[in-house]
């Protein structure tokens, strides 16, 4: 059974028809790119993902990584696809030329990453994760740091990480104990321990550059006293050649529920001698600098959830088309009737369409959000504060909603495969296990919800949220004028209005000092806002498809466009009523979870 990973026709629909990206290609920064070039890039990413990366996914799960004498060894089968990604300059596809990248439109790079993540996320992570460190260095580093590190990291010649979490300082970063002492030559001696460090040590790169959060000796406690340092695995000479081994070592690797091919390391610094680091940016600016990388990581985690969901959906779809089981319901009384593929059974069809609706909605949401940031950050002479706030509003939803719903879709995929989905004969169960981490790392679900309700909703006096509601209403107004879309447009309009009421109810609680009561409903609100975004995106897809349904359209395109309309109808008519119930609960604002005594939860 062939595995598709990502529906390329659907991606093309989003990029060229829904988002009309060709208009953006007219910008001078994209003079080397046109639609044909972008299509070729995306098709090549598809071929590489399916032929070279996907075959290593189950191997990585079976073999994992091995730590011996401070060295982490990845599966031998990872070496070839890693080198192919590196040689093809895929890690730098979305990176600006001044950083050594190709400067491709962001949505084209997103498409490639979606393929690579669905094929084997750990391999993609080994090649691409360093970009976050490179961006920090490009933005805040000295000229020497930029010249020494940036292009080597974006090319995947060297790896990059982020050393943040400690045993007693995870979400509470201000409690970290890693220290830095300034040396006479301006460098710093770093001492401390970090845990849960993705790619902290591995054998795929000749060097790894570690941005490390630490407190300079004597600086105040809490987050205000934190600085950030660049700590290379192997010290780099002034001429760029590799020097002595630095005193930063992997002391353990985690044995995990999923993503077993990814090295999740415990790291120690300064235990065997002297760990040398250089200050990045200014003293005590560590949190500000780190959040630049953290926000990018959170967006990447949302894409990871989408990629798993896409792979799981297409696996389930292909299986349902081929698996013969049971008679068609219309022939139920005929014992000699032939068996049919399970895609003919109503409940399987409902399951598949539910998966498709979420995958399509999440893809449009992510690609659209990517363009908002791209236009404001890279294609404008001056950043628009409202557009920045609008993009920031979407960040916690991308991270949490795509992570949570991505996992839900993977579970649904296992259900479609039935007993076979619970075995290792298919990737359905691995997609499900691998995807679970997405709602945990880079800030758990509750942290994203607090960020949304506590910071992002009220930004610029709520203007970003009101723009969000206004953009939905613009789409519903257009859809109401189209035959066949009137009813679902009205439902989305009503949904957006109710979501606005829920935001107001939470705002009143926060204003009244009822913080715990408000935050007890922050995650349900985030999920309801995510549902609203999916409903909007699917309605927008239906509007675009309706506009394309002319007499001259080819039959296969007619079927595709009709599929967009049916998908929107399904989600809005069956899932949105459930979301309205979630919103009603947020508005009602039960305080039971806050009022219950600790002992009332039960247990010993």
Neighbour count for residue 291 (Cβ, 10 Å): 13
Does residue 2 register a pLDDT over 70? no
Do 388 and 482 have their domain in common? no
The domain that holds 396 is classified in CATH as 1.20.140.10
The domain that holds 60 is classified in CATH as 1.10.540.10
- Last-in-domain residue among 443, 463, 491: 443
What was the pLDDT predicted at 171?
73
Do 477 and 433 have their domain in common? no
Query: Rounded CA gap, 374 and 392, in Å?
Result: 13
pLDDT band at 78 (very low <50, low <70, confident <90, very high): very high
Q: Is residue 167 part of a domain?
A: yes
Do 484 and 568 have their domain in common? yes
pLDDT band at 513 (very low <50, low <70, confident <90, very high): very high
442 as an active site residue: the answer is: yes
- 240-280 per-position pLDDT tens digit: 999 999 999 999 999 999 999 999 999 999 998 899 999 99
Q: Is residue 598 part of a domain?
A: no
Do 297 and 324 have their domain in common? yes
Tokens for 484, please give them. 């066949």
The burial of 69, by beta-carbon neighbours within 10 Å (0-12 exposed, 13-18 middle, 19 or more buried), is given as: exposed
Count how many domains the chain has: 4
**Average pLDDT of span 95-123:** 96
Query: Rounded CA gap, 565 and 66, in Å?
Result: 49
Does residue 594 register a pLDDT over 90? yes
Do 345 and 475 have their domain in common? no
- Last-in-domain residue among 428, 443, 458: 443
Task: Give every CB contact of residue 151 below 8 A, 6+ residues apart in sequence.
Answer: 99, 100
What was the pLDDT predicted at 329?
87
pLDDT band at 175 (very low <50, low <70, confident <90, very high): confident
Tell me the β-bridge partners of 226. Answer: 215
Helix (H) or strand (E) holding 209: strand 207-216
Contact 580, 498 (CB under 8 A): yes
Question: Rounded to the nearest 5°, which phi and psi values hold at 227?
Answer: -115, 175
pLDDT band at 196 (very low <50, low <70, confident <90, very high): very high
Does residue 32 register a pLDDT over 80? yes
Task: Give every CB contact of residue 564 below 8 A, 6+ residues apart in sequence.
Answer: 13, 360, 538, 541, 542, 544, 545
Do 376 and 387 have their domain in common? yes
Q: Is residue 143 part of a domain?
A: no
pLDDT band at 504 (very low <50, low <70, confident <90, very high): very high
DSSP 221: S
Does residue 551 register a pLDDT over 80? no
Do 86 and 99 have their domain in common? yes
Q: What is the mean pLDDT of the chain?
A: 95
- Last-in-domain residue among 78, 105, 128: 128
**Average pLDDT of span 475-484:** 97
pLDDT band at 325 (very low <50, low <70, confident <90, very high): very high
Q: How many residues does the chain have?
A: 604
What was the pLDDT predicted at 1?
61
The proportion of the chain whose per-residue pLDDT surpasses 70, expressed as a percent, equals 100
What was the pLDDT predicted at 85?
97
Q: Is residue 19 part of a domain?
A: yes
- 353-368 per-position pLDDT tens digit: 999 999 999 999 999 9
Does residue 174 register a pLDDT over 90? no
Tokens for 197, please give them. 């460090």
Do 483 and 384 have their domain in common? no
Which listed residue (52, 114, 201, 442) is catalytic? 442
Do 346 and 387 have their domain in common? yes
Do 296 and 276 have their domain in common? no
The proportion of the chain whose per-residue pLDDT surpasses 90, expressed as a percent, equals 90
Does residue 197 register a pLDDT over 90? yes
Range of the domain at 296: 286-443
What was the pLDDT predicted at 336?
87
- 82-98 per-position pLDDT tens digit: 999 999 999 999 999 99
Do 392 and 476 have their domain in common? no
**Average pLDDT of span 124-138:** 94
Q: Is residue 394 part of a domain?
A: yes
pTM of the model: 0.96
Do 274 and 344 have their domain in common? no
């Amino acid at each position: 059974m062939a595995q598709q990973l990502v529906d390329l026709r659907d991606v093309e629909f989003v990029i060229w028809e829904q988002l009309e990206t060709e208009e953006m290609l007219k910008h001078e920064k994209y003079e080397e790119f046109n639609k044909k070039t972008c299509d070729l890039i995306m098709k090549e990413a598809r071929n590489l993902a399916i032929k070279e990366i996907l075959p290593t996914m189950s191997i990585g799960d079976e073999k994992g990584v091995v730590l011996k004498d401070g060295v982490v060894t990845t599966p031998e089968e990872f070496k070839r696809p890693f080198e192919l990604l590196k040689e093809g300059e895929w890690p730098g596809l979305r990176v600006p030329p001044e950083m050594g990248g190709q400067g491709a439109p962001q949505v084209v790079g997103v498409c490639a990453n979606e393929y690579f993540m669905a094929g084997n996320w750990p391999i993609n992570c080994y090649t691409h994760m360093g970009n976050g460190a490179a961006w920090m260095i490009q933005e805040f580093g000295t000229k020497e740091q930029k010249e020494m590190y940036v292009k080597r990291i974006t090319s995947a010649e060297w790896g990059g990480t982020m050393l943040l979490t400690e045993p007693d300082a995870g979400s509470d970063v201000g409690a970290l104990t890693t220290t830095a002492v300034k040396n006479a030559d301006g460098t710093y001696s770093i001492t401390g321990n970090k845990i849960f460090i993705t790619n902290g040590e591995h054998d795929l790169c000749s060097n790894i550059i570690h941005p490390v959060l630490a407190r300079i000796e004597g600086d105040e406690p809490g987050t205000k006293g934190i600085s950030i340092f660049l700590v290379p695995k192997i010290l780099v000479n002034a001429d760029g050649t590799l020097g002595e081994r630095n005193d930063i070592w992997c002391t353990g690797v985690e044995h995990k529920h999923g993503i077993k091919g990814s090295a999740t390391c415990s790291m120690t610094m300064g235990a065997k001698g002297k760990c040398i680091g250089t200050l990045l940016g200014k003293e005590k600016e560590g949190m500000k600098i780190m959040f630049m990388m953290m926000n990018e990581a959170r967006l990447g985690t949302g894409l990871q959830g989408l990629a798993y969901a896409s792979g799981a959906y297409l696996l389930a779809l292909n299986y349902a088309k081929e698996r013969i089981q049971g008679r068609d319901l219309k022939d139920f009384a005929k014992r000699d009737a032939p068996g049919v593929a399970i895609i003919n059974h109503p409940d399987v069809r409902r399951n598949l369409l539910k998966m498709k609706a979420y995958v399509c909605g999440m893809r449009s949401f992510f690609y659209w959000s990517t363009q908002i940031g791209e236009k404001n950050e890279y294609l404008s002479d001056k950043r628009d504060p409202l557009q920045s706030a609008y993009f920031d509003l979407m960040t916690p939803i991308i991270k949490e909603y795509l992570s949570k719903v991505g996992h839900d879709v993977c579970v649904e995929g296992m259900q479609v495969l039935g007993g076979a989905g619970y075995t290792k004969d298919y990737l359905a169960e691995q997609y499900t296990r691998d995807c679970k981490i997405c709602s945990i790392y880079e800030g758990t679900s509750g942290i994203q919800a607090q960020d949304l309700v506590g910071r992002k909703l009220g930004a610029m006096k709520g203007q970003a949220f009101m723009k969000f509601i206004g953009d939905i209403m613009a789409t519903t107004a257009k859809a109401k004028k189209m035959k066949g879309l009137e009813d679902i447009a009205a439902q989305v309009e009503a949904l957006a209005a109710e979501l606005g009421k829920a935001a107001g109810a939470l705002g009143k609680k926060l204003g009244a000092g009822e913080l715990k009561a408000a935050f007890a409903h922050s995650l349900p609100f985030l999920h309801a806002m995510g549902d609203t975004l999916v409903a909007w995106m699917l309605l927008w897809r239906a509007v675009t498809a309706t506009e394309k349904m002319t007499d001259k359209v080819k039959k296969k395109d007619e079927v595709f466009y009709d599929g967009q309309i049916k998908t929107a109808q399904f989600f809005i008519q069956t899932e949105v009523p459930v979301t309205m119930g979630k919103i009603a609960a947020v508005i009602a604002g039960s305080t039971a979870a806050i009022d219950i005594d600790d002992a009332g939860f039960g247990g010993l």
